[in-house]
Structure 1
Amino acid sequence: MAIEKMQKFNLITFHSDQDAVMEQLQDFQQIELFSAAKYNREANIFFNQMQEHPEADKIENQIGNVSWARGFLDTYVEKPGMIQALRQPLRHYTLKELSEHAHTYKWQNVYANLRKQDKRLRTIEQERQELSTQEDELNKWQYFDENPAVLNTLSETIGLLGTVPNSEFNHLKEKMRQLQYSYLETIHQTSTTSYLLILFLKESHERAQDILRTAGFEEYDYPYENKPADELKQVKEKSQKLAKEEKSIKAQLKAQKDDYENLGLVAEYLDSLLVRVNSNQYLLESNYTVNLSGWVPEKQTEQLNKRIRQIVGDDYFLEFSEVKENEYDDTPILLKNHKLVQPFEGLVEMYSLPKYWELDPTPFMMPFYALAFGLMVADFGYGLLLFIAAALAKRFLNFKPGMLQNITMFQIGSIPTMMWGLVYGNIFGQQFSFQLLSTDSDITEILVMSMIFGFIQIMVGLGLKFYLLWQRENAKIKALFQAGSWMFFLISVAMIAAGMVLVPETALQSVGITCLIISLVMIVIGGSFDGNTVIGKIGSGLYSIMDLTNYLSDLISYTRLMALGVAGGSIGAAFNLILSYLPTPARFTIGIVLFIGLHGLNIFLSYLSAYVHGIRLQYLEFFNKFYTGGGRAFKPFKSNESYVQVISEENQQQGDK
């Protein structure tokens, strides 16, 4: 239950072994690289910064190609639903397996073929758009049952095809009727436009043109060789042929599910390869050797040495060094907790990881968060339902580690939910015949219990602050006056409250008041440590008294434990009361549906409130007593695992056994 102890390592090996060593370190998954120049400043005398790997650009281009191919197929390949996907076991591969797959699977051919298919689909789409435009155009002229080219062969007459606005159609028709030996025929008409055939004698050309110009006539230049109806038939046939080809291509793409999966493996391999080649930025080199440095958990140092020896024999130099105090801020953080505590590490990471010199707050936060979570739901039925749902999900579905931890966290939280449900005597809004505390008549007792819960957690936080300060050199006085004083103050307040309520006939209240005065003096003294001058020390000491309001508000914040627990139970009881008014036949039909729906809504809101407000209590009322945070997460030298889970060969062998 602590932060994993780290060590720095420095490795020197021959150039010829670099690739094999880096691949072995990546398979190890237990180191984080940093610049070798930082390990030993004098190394610059013998080594130079390694140049960028010559294959880096090529690998990046390959990753881009594979990512494009997979993204292209993603549109067409049928993917399993969420539940079906979770039923499938997680795929685990070693770097060696990924490398073998990438070198045997002809992904370049698949990529080239997909590029052709993509180009053809784009061409088909463009051609279909053009044909669609032509079809719209020909639909308007298809009832002109002649080839418009015949209009150009007339000797005494001029024939025109064109359009006019409907608003001018009647006026044009009247004017053309006045023109001797003229003819006007409506070929097609829309809500706004009339499509016309107009014939008139050549000798009336100028007059006819004036009439047409006045009416807004636009001449149509027919671009096709055959009659409109024949051309329309050909256009439709071409469109159908293209649609059939498009459907065939998409069907082929849909069937390439194996290629989709295989491209993911290739992408994972190339990603891991790029991580390796980009590690050159951390390395130093001489004419014959390579120098690299990094962080490694102390318990993994022997294993690291063993792995390097397997690759290069005795042709290497490896040393380890302890982390110095001035390096604490740069040291990566890897949390190490019991399996019951691990699921709650995510809550700490959401806030901030601890510094290397700090305590890991997870094991201290975990019991308080779980108990507060249960207290804010406090229904045996809701807790049992969550526990069973989480157990079934873990049994029949396969989750990634992060999601699995979250589900386990909620499953652990369901246990105190059932416990508090028994205390309150609640099960799906109904009350047991026995109750240790009633949400109807024991509100004051529940409120006091919530405040006591908060009092205990705040005291634990101050105790941790006292411990951390006491461990530092020259900070024991601060521990006494900056943490111990507030603990003494809260104990004094508790003594006064107990003397007033529980044992009013004793001197406990008077003793508490005396202790309270002493604690306030200690608080002022502790606050003065933050000042630099005499006036500053006096001012900061007096100002520290203002923190009384913060502690009071912290305690009041814990009343939400009572409020949410009582509210959730009351809402569930209200739902049951509404359902009780239904006629007996309706209770066992629509009533069952309403029961599931209403209580489902209450369960969701109750657990959401418990999750959010539980986090708030830890972050604002608990962490600020002792916890600074700001640590940097340990980033192992490994694949990014964007597509599959990558495991070491050692773990694979252990799994096979």
Structure 2
Amino acid sequence: MVRVEILARKDNANDIVTKLLKIGAFEAEEPRTPISQEKIEEARRKLGEVNENINKIKIIMELGGIEIEPRGKLKVSDWLTVSDEVNKDFSKIEEKYKDLLEEIGKLKAELESLNLQVLELEPFKDIGVSLELLYYTEHFEVALAMINNAQKNEIEKNPNVAIACNQLDENKNACIIASPKGTGLDIKLKELGIRKLETPDLISPQEAYANIQEKINYLQSLLGERRKELISKIEQDRGWIAETYGRLLTVRDAITILSKSRVSEFYIQIEGYLREKKLKRLLEELDKVAFVVYEYPKRYAEQEEPPTYVNLPKSIRPLESVVELYGVPSYWEISPTIFLIITFPLLFGLMFPDFGNALVIFLFSIWFYNYGKKKGSNNIRQLSLVLIYGSIIAMITGLLAREFFGPLAVGGLRELLDNPSYPPGPLYSIWPVPESVYQQIKYILPTGGAEQGIVNSIILSLLLGSVLLFVSSVLGVVNAIKKKDSEYLILDRLPILLIYTVPFIVFTYGLTDLPNYIGQVESLLGGFGYFLFHTGTPAPGSTQTLADILVIWVELALIYNWAGKVVILRRHEKMSAVGAIVFGFIEGGFEAGILLLSNTISFIRVLVFAVAHYYILYAFSYMGYLAAGYPSTVIGLLTNPIAIIIIIIGNLLAIALEGLIVFIQDMRLHFYEMFSKFYEGRGRKFEPQVAYIEILS
């Protein structure tokens, strides 16, 4: 990214703006050192009109449920004049659709009003007595009302008032309130700010509720008809709308550049950020019409932070939306999206290893993507693609685990009852991963039936976590170097790297003897226990020595982190020496030590969710087996209607609830365990002004 300043004669302004739009990699900024305080006020005024018209055309597309891509051509000699012409073109569209849009708007507003009335009547909809009869009895004063807990407590203090309530949520109650005639119930309610429920002509809530529902159904039908009419018109005018939309977007970006420029009597000054790879083209394009100077951002925390442009392949851009939930990368930061494209689907697949369930999520994601495309929602499409990536990996892990909607389809009753005399499932012999391969890897699967399966899976989960935490800490150091903030590097990022190097060494130590990986790691962990508590027997030779070194390493790294926090608190928080030492120990020593354990152990959730998924489906499969009357074959089980219903319910729960929970936990591992080690996300996104359509000179 480079910051570019363009100085040219005012009569070349339109040509320069056109060239910048065609380059499509320039984001206009207010000049740092303006040649004057004079702006092009007409451009600033017209920008508001253009933005308003863009919003209106988006509303037309949104109400019609149609996304239209901008296209067309635009001949330009003067951008301000063209903006008037394009606005006039849009006014013709607006006039054509005005009546229909107004009618749709009124219908939607009326529906919203009726829906609010329905919500108010919902708790009382079973009361068939008219309010006129209820409110004007001879001996009692009665009221139906929605009240909060404080109002309810005040009413209950009055011995002359009886109240019966149905609690709707923590602080909302639907109540019937009554007191003897002449005790001033209405006055008390007004004092407490309670409004009595009223219906048209004081009819019963039941009748009023039914009437409103009837109106809602009618208006929804009418709204559907009007939307069909709108969609039909939009389809007829698709080309006209696409061209007008493209012109509006292009004019908006052109005028944005002009509105941020400065002018003097003879010159115009345009300034902004440009992608570095487009600099040569810009210099060539403006060689004869403008004077151009540029500079590269030198370091973090200058007067202005540059925008961030992350050049990603189109196929993985959806994962950028997950990153942006945390924040946009700063200019000096490594974007975690490349990191995420590997780790996010991998963790999702490891926590959700079932080919059948993953296939359902995959198919749902494709449908959801098309739905988002139809509705013009970029967020839906991006979320769908993230789910597609995760479900693909989950299908692969499901193949390896030989799971298809639970254990029955492949393992059959042999797996369900853990008895080799029973037959396997119908897919057993045709499953892509043969039994021989499964027997080789089952010792690292928590559901493989091996005695050491759980222990091995725990250690492998911790291996994965330690590697990811170490890589995250390394990225934190790299970002600090890019940031060119030596204090941040030495006092904050480097001690974190030293701390998280220890679990990385522990769980990669077993790779020195791969066939005995689990034994090597267990031996090293045992050496920790011997060094700290002097119980049991020491680990063999060099393994115990390494354990001793790593324990001391952790202690020294935590002391280093503590000292770094003390210095930061003294320098930047102006804290007293005693306060800095105490709070530095809490944050840099005690809390960092706890986080070292919790962040690493947190990756056991990868195992936990895989186990939970398997045994939920196992339990429902077993219930189906019992409901079917202990059949001797899987076919006998699957032909029992009750058993089928039970198994379907189990799989629906696994797909809907576990799929959602796994997705959330996957994000949690990234946001809290990994991103916190290297990613701040305080930047701003690069949003260049571009030509959405072909510009003719």
- Equivalent residue number for residue 353 of structure 1: 328
Mapped to 1, the partners of 2:99 and 2:11 lie a distance apart of 41
Moved more, 340-349 or 575-584: 575-584
Structure 1 residues 269, 598: CA separation in 2 closer, same or farther (over 3 Å shift)? farther
- The secondary structure found in structure 2 opposite 1:531 is helix
Letter in 2 for 1:521: L
Structure 1 residues 378, 74: CA separation in 2 closer, same or farther (over 3 Å shift)? closer
Q: How do 1:504-543 residues align onto structure 2 when only pairs under 5 Å count?
A: 504-506=539-541, 508-532=543-567, 538-539=581-582, 542-543=585-586
Structure 1 residues 647, 619: CA separation in 2 closer, same or farther (over 3 Å shift)? farther
- The secondary structure found in structure 1 opposite 2:682 is coil
1:264-306 CA-partner distances (Å, limit 9, x unpaired): 6535533543443344442111222211011011011123334
- Equivalent residue number for residue 454 of structure 2: 443
Q: Does 1:631 align with 2:683?
A: yes
Corresponding pairs, count:
497
2:16 to 15, 21, 25: 21
Mapped to 2, the partners of 1:424 and 1:121 lie a distance apart of 53
1:374, CA displacement in angstroms? Answer: 0.8
- Equivalent residue number for residue 545 of structure 1: 589
Structure 1 residues 484, 281: CA separation in 2 closer, same or farther (over 3 Å shift)? same
Mapped to 2, the partners of 1:449 and 1:500 lie a distance apart of 14
Letter in 2 for 1:560: R
Larger Rg: 1
- Equivalent residue number for residue 605 of structure 2: 560
Structure 1 residues 305, 122: CA separation in 2 closer, same or farther (over 3 Å shift)? closer
Q: Does 1:53 align with 2:42?
A: yes
Q: Does 1:283 align with 2:258?
A: no
- The secondary structure found in structure 1 opposite 2:42 is coil
Letter in 2 for 1:508: T
Mapped to 2, the partners of 1:616 and 1:116 lie a distance apart of 48
Q: Does 1:460 align with 2:455?
A: no
User: Percent of aligned positions with the same letter in both sequences?
Assistant: 19
1:418, CA displacement in angstroms? Answer: 2.8
2:282 to 304, 308, 314: 304
CA contact 2:620–2:647 (8 Å) conserved in 1: yes
1:73, CA displacement in angstroms? Answer: 9.8
Residue segments in structure 1 that go unaligned for 5+ positions in a row: 1-5, 124-247, 640-645, 651-657
Q: How do 1:244-393 residues align onto structure 2 when only pairs under 5 Å count?
A: 256-258=233-235, 261=238, 262-263=240-241, 265-267=243-245, 269-308=247-286, 314-325=288-299, 326-327=301-302, 330-338=305-313, 341-387=316-362
1:392, CA displacement in angstroms? Answer: 8.3
Q: Does 1:499 align with 2:524?
A: yes
Moved more, 519-528 or 62-71: 62-71
1:631, CA displacement in angstroms? Answer: 0.9
Mapped to 2, the partners of 1:257 and 1:336 lie a distance apart of 35
Structure 1 residues 638, 604: CA separation in 2 closer, same or farther (over 3 Å shift)? farther
Mapped to 1, the partners of 2:103 and 2:391 lie a distance apart of 56
CA contact 1:62–1:270 (8 Å) conserved in 2: yes
1:455, CA displacement in angstroms? Answer: 1.7
Mapped to 1, the partners of 2:58 and 2:612 lie a distance apart of 50
Moved more, 250-259 or 440-449: 250-259
- The secondary structure found in structure 2 opposite 1:336 is coil
- The secondary structure found in structure 2 opposite 1:33 is strand
- Equivalent residue number for residue 614 of structure 1: 666
Letter in 2 for 1:361: P
Mapped to 2, the partners of 1:576 and 1:443 lie a distance apart of 22
Q: Does 1:429 align with 2:418?
A: no
Q: How do 1:375-414 residues align onto structure 2 when only pairs under 5 Å count?
A: 375-387=350-362, 403-414=380-391
CA contact 1:13–1:316 (8 Å) conserved in 2: yes
Structure 1 residues 28, 628: CA separation in 2 closer, same or farther (over 3 Å shift)? same
1:205-236 CA-partner distances (Å, limit 9, x unpaired): xxxxxxxxxxxxxxxxxxxxxxxxxxxxxxxx
Give the alignment's Cα RMSD to 1 decimal.
4.6
1:333, CA displacement in angstroms? Answer: 0.7
Mapped to 1, the partners of 2:54 and 2:391 lie a distance apart of 44
1:412, CA displacement in angstroms? Answer: 2.6
Instruction: Give the TM-score taking structure 2 as reference length.
Output: 0.60
Mapped to 2, the partners of 1:513 and 1:117 lie a distance apart of 79
Structure 1 residues 291, 549: CA separation in 2 closer, same or farther (over 3 Å shift)? same
Mapped to 1, the partners of 2:96 and 2:371 lie a distance apart of 39
CA contact 2:257–2:270 (8 Å) conserved in 1: no
Mapped to 2, the partners of 1:118 and 1:629 lie a distance apart of 41
Structure 1 residues 315, 587: CA separation in 2 closer, same or farther (over 3 Å shift)? same
Residue segments in structure 2 that go unaligned for 5+ positions in a row: 77-81, 107-224, 412-434, 510-520, 528-537, 571-576, 630-635
Q: How do 1:411-422 residues align onto structure 2 when only pairs under 5 Å count?
A: 411-422=388-399
1:599 to 629, 647, 651: 651
Mapped to 2, the partners of 1:629 and 1:121 lie a distance apart of 41
Letter in 1 for 2:599: D
CA contact 2:350–2:394 (8 Å) conserved in 1: yes
Mapped to 2, the partners of 1:535 and 1:595 lie a distance apart of 63
1:35-81 CA-partner distances (Å, limit 9, x unpaired): 12x1xx3x53xx44223116x54674576578668858987xxx46x
Mapped to 2, the partners of 1:343 and 1:626 lie a distance apart of 21
